[in-house]
Amino acid sequence: MGRSPWPVLQLSHLDTQGQAHMVSMAERPSTNRQAMAEGWIRMDPQVLKRITAADAPKGDVLAVARIAAIQAAKRTWELIPLCHPLPIHGVEVWISPTARHSGLRIQASVNTHARTGVEMEALTAVQVGLLTIYDMAKALDPAMEIGGVRLLSKQGGRRGDWRHPRGDQEAVDSHPGQQGEPLPPSPS
C-alpha cells in the first residue's frame, strides 16, 4: 500500500480533552463542493430480473430506492451526529445492473455551495438506496449482500480535489482475487 497524499491530521471532531464535538465552520469560506460515492447489492438472478422488470411484490424497487437515496442525502445531518446541515443543491442517483455478478450498483453524486463537503451525504445516499432495495426485495431473497460502499471522488474545499486511488478501474462488485469489470465513467 502506498502512502496517502493526504497528511495524517488530528481528528477535528475531538477537542483537546478527547471529547467529541461539532467542528465550527464559521471561519471557512463557502465554496462549490461535490462528492460521488458508490456501492452494490448482490442477489439471486431471478430476483434481479424481477426488480429490473418492475415486477417485485412491493412495486418499482428502483424508483423507490432512487427517491430514498435522494431523501437520505438531504437528511444526512439528522442521521450522523456530528454532520452539519447543508444546503443540498443537487443529488443525482444512478442504479444499474452489475455486469459480472447478479446485482445492482448505485452511484450518487451530491453538490452544494457550503463551508464543508458533501462526502457523508453521497455515502449516506448510497447506503440508504441499497438498504431500500434490500427492504423491498427481502421477501424474495433474504440472502442479498450489500458491500463495496466507497467514496469515489470529492471536489472543492481546503484540501482540493480527490479521487479514489483505485479510481473507476476496480469494480465495486469484484470479489477478492477476481478482476471486476471497469465502472462506467463518472458522470460530470
**CA dihedral for 31, 18, 10, 162, sign (positive or negative):** negative
Residues 164/151, Cβ–Cβ less than 8 Å: yes
Contacts of 8 (CB under 8 A, 6+ apart): none
Give the DSSP H or E segment for 154: strand 145-155
Give the DSSP H or E segment for 161: none
The edge-to-edge listing of strands for the beta sheet with 162-163 is 88-97, 103-114, 31-42, 145-155, 162-163
**Cα end-to-end distance, the chain, whole Å:** 29
Q: Taking every pair of C-alpha atoms in the chain, what is the biggest distance, in angstroms? A: 55
Give the DSSP H or E segment for 113: strand 103-114
Query: In terms of C-beta density within 10 A (0-12 exposed, 13-18 middle, 19 or more buried), how is residue 89 classed?
Result: middle
| Among 55, 135, 161, 168, the one annotated catalytic | 135
135 is catalytic: yes
Residues annotated as catalytic are: 135
